[in-house]
Chains A and B, each alone.
Chain A
Amino acid sequence: TVGAVARDAAGRLAAATSTGGMTNKRPGRVGDCPVFGAGTWADQAVAISCTGTGEAFIRAAAAHEISARIRHLGETLEQACARVIGTDVPAAGGRGGLIAVDAAGHAALPFNTEGMYRGAWRAGGRPFIAIHEEAPAGSVP
């Protein structure tokens, strides 16, 4: 699964996700990617794209849960992402990771697997690319 999230210079947020699913999956099986609130979500607070065991991300309403925790509990982006990817998704029987950017332009790239192909870039900065633990799993330099 691949995905991207962005905050543009005008403050707009967006999330996109695309996938071939799982190897040897049953034809017709749909994972979390096109299920809004599970694998893909964007609102005024945050944009999120997920990757991993799709059924678990659906059960956890993973992407929307992150937004809800930020909006209603006042959690930071990193706190909300850490809770969902570290607790909620595993509790639902899944593994994987996600990328997220909030309204202030903060980014988080957490995962609970051995690695995640990932990258980030901010205006005026340099591109960051990682696969394993080259940088803390939840942060962007």
Chain B
Amino acid sequence: GWTLAIHGGAGTIPRAALTGGKEAEYRAGLLAALEAGATVLRAGGTAGDAVVEAVRALEDCPLFNAGRGSTFTSDGTIEMDAALMLGEGKAGAVTGVTRPRNPIRAARAVLEGGRHVLLSGAAADAFAAATGLDLAPADYFRTEHRLAQLEAARAQDRVALDHDVPAPARMG
């Protein structure tokens, strides 16, 4: 049989922050990702296709920190990373991409291209475009709650990598 597991991030998650239907929204987002991956596995698909579909669903959900709903840099931009690795020893990743609607599909394109393991920044964006992946404007990835987190971090002059900064501020 098959097994699938997913995560949508870890950290300080106050129960009070999940009131007003928020918890149900998160659970629905997680279930949709499980369904997306399980649909592939149930049909006899590969583990690689299943994890890409599960992550694609999480990227599409604005609640989670990937794809639509990603956190902001100190410059107010969004830079995303994604990686895919198969047990048979194949790997592909992208860093600092700004345009692929689903960065995990860009990572898979790098893997399937076979020549490289990791592409970064503008080169990775261009590779995704040349591969024919769906691209999105910057506004697509931005959400109000991530912008509010950036503004709060700026107001407190928080440096992203200080380990004494509470996890929610650093990781959203």
Q: Do the two chains belong together in a single complex?
A: yes
A contact residues vs B (CB 8 Å cutoff): 1-10, 12-31, 33-36, 39-44, 47, 49, 51-53, 55, 93-101, 105-107, 109, 111, 113-124, 127, 129, 131-132, 140
Q: Is the CB of A6 within 8 A of B50?
A: yes
Contact in complex: A2, B55 (CB < 8 Å): yes
How many CB-defined contacts (below 8 Å) exist between A and B? 336
Contact B153 A24 (CB under 8 A): yes
Rounded to whole angstroms, the CA-CA distance of A39 and B10 in the bound complex is 13
- Pick from A9, A55, A127, A140: contact of B41, CB under 8 Å: A9
Query: A16 with B83: in contact, given A123-B41, A131-B23, A140-B5 (CB under 8 Å)?
Result: yes
Bound CA–CA A85/B64 (angstroms)? 22
A49/B86 in contact, CB under 8 A: no
> Interface residues of B, CB < 8 Å — how many?
91
Q: Would you list 17 pairs from A and B whose C-beta atoms are within 8 A, ordered by A residue?
A: A1-B65, A6-B5, A7-B2, A8-B50, A9-B2, A12-B47, A19-B70, A20-B69, A20-B172, A24-B153, A40-B83, A42-B86, A113-B13, A116-B13, A117-B26, A122-B3, A129-B30
Q: Given A101-B5, A105-B3, A111–B10 Cβ distance below 8 Å?
A: yes
Interface residues of B (CB under 8 A from A): 1-15, 18, 23, 26-27, 30-31, 33-35, 37-38, 41-42, 44-48, 50-52, 54-55, 58-59, 64-67, 69-75, 77-89, 91, 93-96, 103-104, 107, 117-118, 120, 141, 146, 149-150, 153-154, 158-161, 163, 167, 169-172
Contact of B5 among A18, A21, A44, A99 (CB under 8 A): A99
Q: Using Cβ atoms and an 8 Å threshold, which residues of chain A touch B84? A: 14-16, 40
Q: Are B104 and A119 in contact (CB under 8 A)?
A: no
Closest to A118 in B: B7
Say whether A127 contacts B5, CB under 8 Å.
Answer: no
Are A8 and B78 interface neighbours, CB within 8 A?
Answer: no
Bound complex: CA of A40 vs CA of B77, how far in Å? 24
Task: Report the separation of the CA atoms of residues A26 and B6 in the bound assembly, to the nearest whole angstrom.
Answer: 28
Instruction: Give Cα A106 to B4, complex, Å.
Output: 10
